[in-house]
Amino acid sequence: MQESAIRVAAPSVCLSFTSIVIRLGSDPRAGLPDLAAPLNKDKGVDVLVVLGFTMILTFMVLIMTRRLTPMVALILVPTIFGLFAGAGLGLGDMIIESIGDLAPTAALLMFAIMFFGIMIDVGLFDPLIRSITRFLGNDPAKVVLGTAILAGAVSLDGDGSTTFIITTSAMLPIYLRLGMSPVVLTCVAGLMNGTLNIVPWGGPTVRAASALGVSPTDIFVPMLPSLATGLIIALAFAWFLGLAERKRIGSLEYSPAALADATPTASPGFWRGLFGGNRVVRGTDVRPGAAATLSTTGIVTVRPGQRLPAGPIALAEQKLLEVDDHDTMMADTMLSADRPTLRPKLIWVNFGLTVAVMVLLVLDVMPLAYIFMVGTGVALMVNFPKLRSQADEIVAHAPSIVGVVSMVLAAGVLVGVLNGTGMVTAMADWVVNVVPASMGEYLAVITGVLSIPMTFFMSNDAFYFGILPVLAESAATYGIDPVEMARASIIGQPVHLQSPLVPAILLLVSLAGVNLGDHHKKVLWRACVVSLVMLLVGVLVGAVPFG
């Protein structure tokens, strides 16, 4: 009996499954509502909320524990949770649509990396590096503080990608040559850029103003005390990170005589003259694959599991080991004094080209990706007129480009699943409904607190155009003005800029050769502190009402 029942049931099950597949195959979206119908009920919304937050948490845990690379996690984790959410074969359309929206950003980052990489190769930033180094010396604490100041100054243009490209181009070679951790660079740069992301011409403030119909200036000006305090806190964090690096590294000088004994063919070179002697310059955080190195210019790295002792080091005790110049994304642009790509006679031409590109970026007269495309083409033609040289230069920057563009496109999977399955909408509705009516008079402060995690989990568009108007409408019944809600809503930007949904931060960690999880470990709690202090100051000065 059981066997006959199975024989009868099996064909019917197969036919049912086949009909579903055929229906989904002919129109993937046509089958999606039937599969996702249970999730549209009241209890289903709770399921989407749980799935949304669990997906983000799973992603964070996997990258912070180094179980998966960020790109792999961005692809696989949302795919699995999208299937749990009932997306079915419609998942592909959601993701392709999201990737299409991110394609201009990927093109922008690709050609921006190439353009600034060419400018580094031809020597445009060498005078800047020399000036910074002469001013900061070889003190890690001053270098980190200088990184924060430079990132803050460049962040005033409101564009994170430009800030990170310039800051990394200028400071990463110094970090590597002093043996400092690139994670400190990404932490400081991300923290400063996130704090300054509330400027009135930046995206978040404009979005908040547009969503609530208020002036960006009315949002920003009362927040100046909060911004000033946030910058002070960020600079303080930078200084203490620098002190920790100084303590970890110690004084890594050793005598030129010892160097001469160990490497008789060593020449003075650019960096030896710049730093006033040879230094141990690598061996920051012992990443897998980093080989110990002692080159003819005094550059030293460390084997996995090995650390250099602090204090004076006798160079004669160091071993000559195999060189590995590819342990960071920008290893191809380490500013060697005798690199063949230098074009000193064209420095003013390249400077003028760079200024023209930056001016066009600020004026926003054409798409940013196209501006960098044209700039890259002109830079290659001017500096490398031969076809083979152009091809070599393009290939030289391939590791940087592939690393960041792949992560941006992979982020499209996460964004597509969040939006396509309705997780973002469910999470937004849950956030609005979870606030009890008795807390209505504190909605401005609640909005400020909520902006910290919510802008990390979702895009600025989703938060400012989806959640903020609903919160502002509720707050109006308690006498809270929309402009006050807008001010509170931009509090979370120091944390938002660290989100894997922000292409600029993917660019930063890729250029610096830093794991996104390592960056998050160091920066997230500091960014939360900056945001909460900015909120507290906003309440104290009356920019954000409290009761």
Q: Where are the alpha helices (DSSP H) in 65-181?
A: 70-84, 91-121, 126-136, 140-155, 160-178
Q: Residues 89, 93, 97, CA angle at the centre, nearest 5°?
A: 160
What pLDDT sits at residue 118?
A: 87
Q: Which residues contact 5 (CB under 8 A, 6 or more apart)?
A: none
CB 239 within 8 Å of CB 143? no
pTM passes above 0.85: no
CB 371 within 8 Å of CB 360? yes
In whole angstroms, what is the distance from residue 52 CA to residue 496 CA?
A: 17
CB 127 within 8 Å of CB 274? no
Count of residues in the chain: 547
Kind plus residue range of the DSSP H or E element containing 7: helix 2-26
**3-state secondary structure at position 279:** strand
**Burial group, residue 41, by CB count within 10 angstroms (0-12, 13-18, 19+):** exposed
Q: How many CB atoms lie within 10 A of CB 6?
A: 10
Q: At residue 398, what is the residue type?
A: A
SS3 of 251-320: the string is: CCECCHHHHHHHCCCCCCHHHHHHHCCCECCCCCCCCCCCCCCECCCCCECCCCCCCCCCCCCCHHHCCC
What single DSSP character describes residue 386?
A: S
In whole angstroms, what is the distance from residue 400 CA to residue 352 CA?
A: 25
In whole angstroms, what is the distance from residue 78 CA to residue 75 CA?
A: 6
Q: Which residues contact 284 (CB under 8 A, 6 or more apart)?
A: 175, 176, 179, 180, 181, 182
What pLDDT sits at residue 337?
A: 65
Closest CA to 376 of 116, 34, 168, 41: 116
- What are the C-alpha distances in Å from 416 to residues 52, 85, 308, 420, 422? 12, 13, 45, 6, 10
Q: How many CB atoms lie within 10 A of CB 37?
A: 11
In whole angstroms, what is the distance from residue 485 CA to residue 463 CA?
A: 13
Q: pLDDT tens digits, the chain, 547 residues: what are they?
A: 444 444 434 444 343 433 333 333 334 334 333 333 334 444 445 888 888 888 888 887 887 787 888 788 889 999 999 998 888 888 888 889 888 887 887 887 788 878 888 887 888 877 876 777 677 777 899 999 999 988 888 787 667 777 888 788 778 888 887 888 999 999 999 999 999 988 877 778 888 887 788 888 888 889 999 999 999 999 999 999 999 999 888 644 433 333 343 333 333 333 333 333 333 332 333 333 333 232 222 333 333 334 443 333 333 233 323 333 334 433 334 456 677 888 888 999 999 998 898 888 777 788 888 988 999 999 999 999 999 989 988 888 887 788 778 877 888 888 888 888 888 778 777 877 777 777 878 889 999 998 998 888 877 877 887 778 778 877 887 888 989 999 999 999 999 999 888 888 888 888 888 888 899 999 999 999 999 999 999 999 999 998 6
Q: State the maximum Cα–Cα separation within the chain, in Å, rounded to a whole number.
A: 93
In whole angstroms, what is the distance from residue 48 CA to residue 45 CA?
A: 5
